[in-house]
Amino acid sequence: MYFSSREDEADPESRKLVAIAGGVLAVAGLVLMIWPTTGVVTISWLLAGVTLVLGCVMVYVATKLRRFKKHIGKPS
């Protein structure tokens, strides 16, 4: 993403995305420098939330695949 935005004929949306991501990361870095313990707790909560959502998505996909397998396995 970074290198694609540095090209001469880079897409303006790509440059905008890199600028937004850089701004968000700079703010996050400042927060971690000013309040390190709060930042660590926040990162832990975010990691836990992402893990929970990913686990739910994996269970959902597994059940869908099981149903799909049963559906495909039946002769018509």
Give the residue carrying structure tokens 């994996």.
58
Question: For residue range 47-66, what is the model confidence (pLDDT) as tens digits?
Answer: 999 999 999 999 999 999 98
Structure confidence at residue 66 (pLDDT): 87
Q: Is the pTM of this model over 0.75?
A: no
Residue 11 CA to residue 51 CA, distance in Å, equals: 33
CA distances from 10 to 19, 23, 74 (A): 13, 19, 51
Where on the phi/psi map is residue 74: left (φ > 0), alpha (ψ -120 to 50), or beta?
Answer: beta
Res. 1: pLDDT tops 60: no
